[in-house]
């Protein structure tokens, strides 16, 4: 909220007739946000069958869509949104879009066309290359005007991609710029370019970013000898900062793209780092990344078994207990409650996961 604004006005609609802003952003499972190019007929044809198999389908209009195809992508998305059963508007799979950047020749028409055509289906608009709160304020007012014109009864939410150095520096004010803010994603490719990082990849690590074991002594032989090295996570600082900004504002952080589609192992590692640090989901650029994301962003059966035992053993939540030689107290209980709540929310939409969590023996829970 801008310092010059009264708290009382923050939740007023920004246009006459626009739906009232939400005071809380409800959690909706969004482990994988699967990107598709609506101008690609082959990809578009697969969308109806994907409904119900992935938490979010995102019609991408920005980077990766050729300039000549921008119009076809926008129109294709309207068609898909209108015709696809179960997509968006409370259906089993959310419908998101990534519009073109606000300084491009396409962003304005992206918003006017999409809200008029499929505003009632669209759950979230992802805005790329967000620099500061002013970008969110622009989209906020425009969406309110378009929602009023289209007669929508619920607000479309906004998700910002963190992919500029200025956006990174302004991350807290971006998260708090509008009640529409649903979350943030890391955009490692654009962010690397904007920061002038010396990488050429879309997300993931780099073998040159490492620490090396000390030499056994200062001799030339010891310095030249083979020493263990450990690759470090290039994105640790950025993701951790993004998670704090989102948690502070009650919105949701996501990892972004992992471009090496063939390296499913490193992809899983990157996703898991983000999950452990607090992210709720990630982008999927290929169907095989959906399964990885669903696995990684769902708490494991072992963690839920343990979390339930701690919850059962901690009674009123105060004091401390020992479980398997480890001290558990109010703070570890709170972590366990985060996990159990997430498991319940995911089980409600994923029968396979529900069966796995339901199969955890009840005796485990009480045997503290």
Is residue 187 part of the contact set for Mg ion (CB under 5 A)? Answer: yes
* Residue 116 token pair: 């008029």
By beta-carbon proximity to ligand GLV, the closer residue of 155 and 188 is 188
CA angle 177, 179, 182 (to 5 degrees): 90
What is the distance between the alpha carbons of residues 335 and 114, in angstroms, rounded to a whole number? Answer: 40
Residue 52, Cβ neighbours under 10 Å: how many? 14
By beta-carbon proximity to Mg ion, the closer residue of 282 and 298 is 282
Is residue 299 part of the contact set for ligand GLV (CB under 6 A)? Answer: no
Region from 114-122, 182-190, 214-222, 333-341 binding Mg ion, contact rule CB under 5 A: 182-190
Strands (E), 240-329: 252-254, 282-284, 320-323, 326-329
Is residue 188 part of the contact set for ligand GLV (CB under 6 A)? Answer: yes
What is the distance between the alpha carbons of residues 9 and 5, in angstroms, rounded to a whole number? Answer: 7
Min. distance of Cβ 167 from ligand GLV in angstroms? 11
Region from 25-33, 76-84, 94-102, 184-192 binding Mg ion, contact rule CB under 5 A: 184-192
DSSP string covering 84-144, please? -TTBSTTSSBEEEEEPPPTTSSSHHHHHHHHHHHHTTT--EEEESS--SHHHHHHHHHHHH
Min. distance of Cβ 219 from ligand GLV in angstroms? 45
Is residue 285 part of the contact set for ligand GLV (CB under 6 A)? Answer: no
60-79 footprint of ligand GLV as x/- string (CB under 6 A):
---x----------------
What is the distance between the alpha carbons of residues 296 and 47, in angstroms, rounded to a whole number? Answer: 23
Min. distance of Cβ 190 from Mg ion in angstroms? 4
By beta-carbon proximity to Mg ion, the closer residue of 47 and 162 is 162
193-212 footprint of ligand GLV as x/- string (CB under 6 A):
---------x----------
Pick one of 256, 289, 294, 299: the residue that binds ligand GLV (CB under 6 A).
256
Q: Which of 196, 204, 132, 125 is nearest to 168 (CA)?
A: 132
Pick one of 187, 204, 281, 299: the residue that binds ligand GLV (CB under 6 A).
187
Region from 94-102, 118-126, 137-145, 160-168 binding Mg ion, contact rule CB under 5 A: 160-168
> Which residue matches tokens 């015709």?
83
Q: Which does 256 bind (CB under 5 to 8 A by kind): ligand GLV, Mg ion, none?
A: ligand GLV
Burial of 216 (0-12, 13-18, 19+ CB in 10 A): exposed
DSSP category for residue 22: P
Q: Which does 257 bind (CB under 5 to 8 A by kind): ligand GLV, Mg ion, none?
A: ligand GLV
Min. distance of Cβ 182 from Mg ion in angstroms? 18
Per rule CB under 6 A, count of chain residues that contact ligand GLV: 10
Is residue 179 part of the contact set for ligand GLV (CB under 6 A)? Answer: no
Is residue 257 part of the contact set for ligand GLV (CB under 6 A)? Answer: yes
By beta-carbon proximity to ligand GLV, the closer residue of 271 and 357 is 271
Burial of 25 (0-12, 13-18, 19+ CB in 10 A): middle
Is residue 163 part of the contact set for ligand GLV (CB under 6 A)? Answer: yes
112-151 footprint of Mg ion as x/- string (CB under 5 A):
----------------------------------------
Min. distance of Cβ 62 from ligand GLV in angstroms? 7
DSSP-assigned beta bridge partners for residue 95: 57
Secondary-structure breakdown of the chain: helix, strand, coil percentages, each rounded to the nearest 5: 45, 15, 40
What is the distance between the alpha carbons of residues 39 and 66, in angstroms, rounded to a whole number? Answer: 9
* End-to-end Cα spacing for the chain: 46
Binding site for ligand GLV (CB under 6 A): 63, 161, 163, 187-190, 202, 256-257
Binding site for Mg ion (CB under 5 A): 163, 187, 190
């Amino acid at each position: 909220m801008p310092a010059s604004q009264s708290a009382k006005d923050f939740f007023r609609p920004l246009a006459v007739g626009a739906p009232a802003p939400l005071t809380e952003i409800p959690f909706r499972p969004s482990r994988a946000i699967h990107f598709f190019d609506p101008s690609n007929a082959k990809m578009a044809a697969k969308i109806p069958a994907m409904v119900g198999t992935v938490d979010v389908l995102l019609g991408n209009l920005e980077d990766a869509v050729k300039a000549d195809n921008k119009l076809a992508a926008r129109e294709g998305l309207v068609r898909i949104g209108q015709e696809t059963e179960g997509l968006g508007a409370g259906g089993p799979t959310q419908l998101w879009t990534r519009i073109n950047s606000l300084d491009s020749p396409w962003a304005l028409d992206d918003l006017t066309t999409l809200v008029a055509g499929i505003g009632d289906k669209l759950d979230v608009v992802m805005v790329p290359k967000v620099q500061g709160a002013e970008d969110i304020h622009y989209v906020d007012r425009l969406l309110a005007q378009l929602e009023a014109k289209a007669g929508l009864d619920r607000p479309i939410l906004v998700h910002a991609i963190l992919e500029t150095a200025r956006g990174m520096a302004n991350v807290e004010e971006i998260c708090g710029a509008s009640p529409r803010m649903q979350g943030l994603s890391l955009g490692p490719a654009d962010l690397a370019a904007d920061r002038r990082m010396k990488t050429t990849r879309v997300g993931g690590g780099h073998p040159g970013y490492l620490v090396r074991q000390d030499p056994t002594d200062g001799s030339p032989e010891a310095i030249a000898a083979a020493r263990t090295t450990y690759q470090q996570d290039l994105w640790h600082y950025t993701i951790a900062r993004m998670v704090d900004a989102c948690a502070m504002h009650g919105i949701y952080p996501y990892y972004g793209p992992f471009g090496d589609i063939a390296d499913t192992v490193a992809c899983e590692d990157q996703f898991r780092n983000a999950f452990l640090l607090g992210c709720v989901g990630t982008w999927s650029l290929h169907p095989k990344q959906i399964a990885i994301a669903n696995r990684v962003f769902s708490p494991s059966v072992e963690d839920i078994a343990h979390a339930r035992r701690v919850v059962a053993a901690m009674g009123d939540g105060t004091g401390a207990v020992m479980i398997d030689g480890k001290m558990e107290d109010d703070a570890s209980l709170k972590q366990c409650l985060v996990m159990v709540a997430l498991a319940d929310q995911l089980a409600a939409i994923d029968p396979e996961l529900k069966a796995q969590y339901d199969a955890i023996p009840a005796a485990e829970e009480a045997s503290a």
